[in-house]
Amino acid sequence: MGDKFSAVIVGSALGDAIGKCVEDLTEEEVYSFYGGPVEGFVEPHPKSPAFGFEPWEVSDETTISILLLESILERKSIDPYHFFEKLLKWRKDEKSHRYPDPTLLTAIDLLSSGISLESAGFYSSSIEGALRSVVVGLFHFYNPYLSAEGGRLVSLITHRSKEIYDVSGMLSALISHLVSGEWNLEDTSERLELLSHLQEFAKYDANKRAIKKVQELLEEGSGLEEAIFQLGNSSYALEAFPLSLFIFLKNIENPQRAFFEAVNSYGKFGGDTDAIGYLVGAYLGAYFGMSAFDTELVEKLEKVDYYISLSERLWEITMENIPRRQDHVL
């Protein structure tokens, strides 16, 4: 199971790194520039927000998750105040930024000035706010319900909305379930059952309906193009998250196809391919372990040894402290 911890962190970073190169591009622009779908590390397209970065570098979507992971290792618990201190330090180091989510920057600025997000009327439903909850799914893998609560806690620090509340909870719980190996997703009925179960972690009916739509598309045998049309592929949490679920479950018998569909999920009008790649990479790592990913790509990913080292330490701390944390200490 420790292999899965490493695979979640590496897989999400890998999806982010490759997906960033074609973010916000249309299918026509991608095919014209690259000659077809991207199938590995490529130079970021000139119209991509990642233009100027190296092919194997991650965006700040991975950076924020790593900050949370480091915080958990340092505190041996989820400490939202300690995590925010890390966010604030990162915020001030602008030279290290890699086109961060503007919502995140604004939230950090408001909070550090003593202004609550509610009083400022500042709300966000961007998927970037929920991605970090993947780390919590590992830390609380033994208890998906505790995982969901922890995922909400770390996400709502900077992104407040009904969408983020539900998506962060579902995402954390999903990672816990996949790591634990409780589901045989090669069985079509279990894929659909898993989606029904995830809805238990959603409070709002509108958000549950987005997951039900994924079920319908799988039952209908829909392809990626139809899924993008029906679900959307933007950075809105209730587009990126449901689409990532569809891609993962639709291609469960072919992990590499799932991965490359995710990073190429731009569709006709462009999409948040790095976030969707991040999510599907995390799911694949949680379910299959490191075998889901091409070894050469993994070896070329920036800081991969550091990511693996962090994940191994997280596994050790998690296993050492399960009895204590089963008393509902986040």
| 27 within 8 A of 38, measured Cβ to Cβ | no
Does the pLDDT value for residue 148 go beyond 50? yes
Tens-digit pLDDT profile for residues 245-280: 999 999 999 999 999 999 999 999 999 999 999 999
Domain borders along the chain are 2-325
pLDDT value for 174: 98
- Annotated binding site: which residue ranges? 59-60, 272, 274
- Please count the CA atoms within 13 angstroms of the CA of 297 that sit on its side-chain side: 26
pLDDT of 330 reads 47
Task: Say which range, 39-43, 65-69, 291-295, 325-329, has the weakest mean pLDDT.
Answer: 325-329
- Token pair 């296993």 is at which residue? 319
Whether residue 216 has pLDDT greater than 80: yes
Given this model, what pLDDT does residue 326 score? 52
- Express each pLDDT in 175-204 by its tens digit: 999 999 999 999 999 999 999 999 999 999
- CATH architecture of the domain 2-325 equals Orthogonal Bundle (1.10)
pLDDT bucket at 122, cuts 50 / 70 / 90:
confident
Q: List residues forming the annotated binding site for Mg(2+).
A: 59-60, 272, 274
Q: Which band of pLDDT confidence, cut at 50, 70 and 90, is reported for residue 324?
A: low
Please return the burial class of 124, using the count of CB atoms within 10 Å of its CB with bins 0-12, 13-18 and 19+.
buried
Write down the pTM of the prediction.
0.96
H-assigned helices in 96-223: 102-112, 128-131, 133-139, 144-155, 162-180, 188-198, 205-220
* pLDDT confidence of residue 329: 45
Per-residue model confidence (pLDDT) at position 118:
84
Q: Is pLDDT of 17 > 80?
A: yes
**Distance from chain centroid for Cα 315:** 19
Q: Which amino acid is at 93?
A: D
Q: pLDDT digits over 150-171, tens only?
A: 999 999 999 999 999 999 999 9
**Alpha helices by DSSP H, the chain:** 2-19, 27-34, 60-75, 80-92, 102-112, 128-131, 133-139, 144-155, 162-180, 188-198, 205-220, 224-231, 237-250, 255-263, 273-288, 295-300, 304-325
What are the structure tokens assigned to 241, written together? 């998250």
Q: Is 18 in contact with 59 (CB distance < 8 Å)? A: no
* Inter-residue long-range contacts of 96-100, CB under 8 Å, 24+ positions, other chains counted: 96/63, 97/60, 98/50, 98/53, 98/57, 98/58, 98/59, 98/60, 98/63, 99/49, 99/50, 99/59, 99/60, 100/60, 100/63
Strand pairing partners for 126?
236
Q: 3-class DSSP state for residue 236?
A: strand
Lowest-pLDDT range, 22-26, 50-54, 276-280, 326-330? 326-330
Mean pLDDT taken over the chain: 95
